[in-house]
Amino acid sequence: KAGVTQTPRYLIKTRGQQVTLSCSPISGHRSVSWYQQTPGQGLQFLFEYFSETQRNKGNFPGRFSGRQFSNSRSEMNVSTLELGDSALYLCASSLQIGGDEQYFGPGTRLTVT
């Protein structure tokens, strides 16, 4: 069974631009969560989706948004990029929501210049 895939793996953007990252969960998984990983702040929860609905959101500004499609694939969008948005963005999928085992993708490395 294929694992969680994230595209692109690497991305370089300029301040002020916007970016869209994609996550394809493991087949059959209906829940997708997103995390930001930086050296300074560590791993921080962004949001989670289940059955196309956002169920939980972390403490990030409104520039960060996401959605989930009917096939469970998810995208996250960051508008008006800032230098501090440079990070590894990780996506995780699980069968259900509620303490279920999660499987992480390799991440998208975003660099903002």
Partner 1 sequence: GDSVTQMEGPVTLSEEACLTINCTYTATGYPSLFWYVQYPGEGLQLLLKATKADDKGSNKGFEATYRKETTSFHLEKGSVQVSDSAVYFCALSGRGGGATNKLIFGTGTLLAVQP
| 57-108-45 Cα angle (round to 5) | 20
67 is an interface residue for partner 1 by CB under 8 A: no
Q: Does 42 bind partner 1 (CB under 8 A)?
A: yes
Q: Whose CA is closest to 28, among 94, 110, 81?
A: 94
26: nearest Cα among 57, 10, 54, 5: 5
- Quick one: 28 or 99, whose CB is closer to partner 1? 99
Provide Rg for the chain, Cα atoms.
13
The residue among 82 and 100 lying less far from partner 1, judged by its C-beta, is: 100
Residue 99 in the binding site for partner 1 (CB under 8 A): yes
**Residue 99 CB, nearest distance to partner 1 (Å)?**
5
Binding site for partner 1 (CB under 8 A): 4, 31, 33, 35, 42-45, 48, 55-56, 58, 90, 92, 94, 97-107
